[in-house]
Amino acid sequence: MPQQQQSPGLKCPQCGQFIPTTIAELLSAQALRCPYCGLELTINRAESRHAMEILKEVDEASKKLDQASQFKR
């Protein structure tokens, strides 16, 4: 069955490719490197704190979803 996993990531400002990453990486890494063009993206957590909080909520929500799916009949 077609299942589109919504993978976290961001669009490279230089080449426009989607850079897949993990929420944990976004929360902990200092920088991400675009695998397509090699551009290094610095993560400014002070400025993107709001976005990080949203990511945390998404992460927690998906964990809850994982738990819920274990109770399938």
Which residue ranges make up the site for Zn ion (CB under 5 A)?
12, 14-15, 34, 36-37, 39
Residue 45 CB, nearest approach to Zn ion (Å): 21
DSSP per-residue string spanning 25-68: HHHH-SEEE-TTT--EEE--TTTTHHHHHHHHHHHHHHHHHHHH
The answer to whether 33 touches 20, Cβ cutoff 8 Å, is: no
Smaller CB separation from Zn ion, 34 or 43: 34
Residue 26 CB, nearest approach to Zn ion (Å): 16
Smaller CB separation from Zn ion, 44 or 69: 44
Residue 52 CB, nearest approach to Zn ion (Å): 22
Tokens of 6: 């919504």
